[in-house]
A and B are shown apart, each in its own frame.
Chain A
Amino acid sequence: MSFKEWFVKRSPLPEMWREHMAEYYAPKNFNIFYYAGSLLLLMVVLQFLSGFLVLAHYIPTAEGAYDSVYGIMYDVHYGWLMQYMHVDGVSLIFVLLYVHMARGMLYGSYRSPRELVWIIGYTTYLAFMAEAFFGYVLPYSNLSYWAGTVITSLLKSIPFIGGWVTTLVRGGPGMSGDTLGRFMALHVTLVFLVIVGLIVFHILYLHKVGSNNPDGIEIKANKGPDGHPVDGIPFHPYYSVKDLFGFGVWLIIFGAIIFYAPTFHHIFLERTMSTPANPLKSLPDVTPPWYLSPFYAMLRSIPNKNAGIILMVFAVLIPFVLPWLDRNPVKSTRYRPITRIMLLIFFINFFVLAYLGEQPPLPKYFFMERLGAFIYVAFFILLPFVSKFEPTRTPPARVRFHAH
């Protein structure tokens, strides 16, 4: 008996390889947006590696945190590389998350039978938000300090138990070294493991129902004599080599940012990250990182604290029910011109909100912020009606694909 036979008899790996790679049939008409999924996996691995190595030099105390983080930049061999990988990696992960979600919305990937894939994926996005938040408090810069203070104070508006929860999260009446200890524990263990687990489930649930595609039609409905979808190709080798090429392009972008624009004009690494925490000196304006700022803009667009928080929570949670808001039998917006226009407005509006959330809290922005919040909410309210009555074109029976 060869070693291979001996191993195969005992290992589930060959079977898993077949099920998820060699004999997982994916539609052959994936376009450029479909790189985002595999790139996210790559980024999570890189984020884990760089995070592991910066953690090795980090000190979670109020006195030591800031200096230890800058000690990585100055004193650790290639510390700057680990640090910039970890910092810029966050922003790039959110770029990919937004592309990945926008693609799902464009082609109706959240629709039946993929509702759970969408819900698990959206939960992963929320977990990434938490992970990013805990992460940027850890350097204990003045931005960390005030961002941590502001975000944890949001918890105070939870009815009845708000005060208790806030103290529990902070480990005291305000931000302190104790907060850093628990945030580090959350950042490197609990939330990270939740993200990994959710990613595994996201893929397993996807592979159970099969991938959607830009035409939004089910390839499983049209099977060849071999029992495989005629418009499907095995993930390995076709999509695995394609994703390798995608990795290459993406790493060039990532590398160019790290080597030539590590702060990305202070969008990826804010200026206020470069001054230590000072409880006596609030920042001129506390703005969140760009990837959270759309929700922040909505929060402050309403001149009432609790109403603002309710609007923000609503804006964050409403996408969970998206699979049930869309009532059109056609999935892909390629064949639904009105929804497509609505979606494009929604995406542009999201960018505008992100920009507004970064601006100082001046009255001249209030109108724009309210308009943005209105468009965001209106999209979800209009969708059930528009999707029910909009005119559609008939999707093709087979996926559109031009052989190379």
Chain B
Amino acid sequence: MSDERQDSKHAPNVTRRRFLTALVTVSGAAVAGTIAVPMVKSLDPTAAAAALATTTIDLNPIEPGMQMVALWQEKPVIVVNRTPEMLATLDESEQKGILKDPNCNVPQQPPYCKNKYRSRVPEWYVGIKICNHLCCIPHYRPKKASVAPWWLGGFHCPCHGSMYDLSARVIKGSPAPHNMAVPEYDIDVAKKTVVVTKMYPLAHLC
């Protein structure tokens, strides 16, 4: 065999080499991706966490005018059984013009709760009891004049004094910017249960 033929047999074929390198790179990246995707997915919430994602609250023990707090996804969810008198204070605070967002234009609640009651059923308020200001947990103060002489009943935050009415709408003069958040939920008045299903994605807590 001549040297020339020998050389051509051993000489690199640049085009072929580039093409193969590209193929190896692309398929290698695909292999890496096939391993990486399930790895990242394994850090998603587990089925065990998903099983705890909804909370069912029994409304039977909550008498008119009373409230109850349940833990849902590491957050306090308050359920208030509002009496007709309490519901009347909602109109009163609107008339006085003390609310920052009386018509709930900021989507702090699912669309089906965009009303003055901020709930599916007027008597039952279901909301996340976290102040919109800096994440403290407001106190429930239903008695009139219990916080200030003009107080109609509502929520008062112990940290920086944010005030909300009985629909958790924020009152002017509070540091909190928005009404308190309302999660998505289903209520069955006949069976007296509330099932909190998930966080309303547009609402922000604090």
Contact = CB atoms under 8 A, between A and B. Distances in A.
B14 interface: no
Contact of A56 (B35, B41, B43): B43
Contact of B47 (A74, A82, A403): A74
B46 A57 contact: yes
A75 B24 contact: no
A76 B38 contact: no
Nearest to A46: B35
A75 B41 CA distance: 12
A337 interface: no
A378 interface: no
B48 A81 contact: no
Contact of B42 (A77, A241, A244, A403): A77
Contact of A244 (B24, B41, B43, B47): B24
B38 to A, nearest CB: 4
Contacts of B24: 241, 244
A77 B49 CA distance: 12
A53 B36 CA distance: 11
Contacts of A244: 24, 28
Given A71-B48, A244-B24, A251-B31, A77 B38 contact: yes
A76 B42 contact: yes
A76 B43 CA distance: 8
Interface string A238-249: 000100100000
Contacts of A46: 35
B39 interface: yes
A241 B17 CA distance: 12
B48 A82 contact: no
A57 B28 CA distance: 29
A49 interface: yes
A78 B44 CA distance: 10
B122 to A, nearest CB: 40
Contacts of B10: 403
Interface in A60-92: 71, 74-79, 81-82
Interface string B26-64: 001001000100110111101110000000000000000
A251 B34 CA distance: 12
Contact of B46 (A50, A77, A241): A77
Interface string B3-33: 0000000100000000000001000100100
A76 B42 CA distance: 6
A49 to B, nearest CB: 6
Nearest to B38: A78
B83 to A, nearest CB: 44
A251 B35 CA distance: 11
A49 B42 contact: no
A50 B43 CA distance: 12
B70 to A, nearest CB: 24
A81 B38 contact: yes
Nearest to A244: B24
A383 B192 CA distance: 85
Nearest to B51: A75
In order of increasing CB-CB distance, the 3 nearest A-B pairs are A78-B38, A75-B47, A75-B46
Given A57-B46, A76-B47, A78-B39, 6 more contacts: A46-B35, A53-B42, A71-B48, A75-B47, A79-B46, A251-B31
Interface of A: 46, 49-50, 53, 56-57, 71, 74-79, 81-82, 241, 244, 251, 403
7 contacts: A49-B39, A56-B42, A77-B44, A77-B46, A78-B42, A244-B28, A251-B31
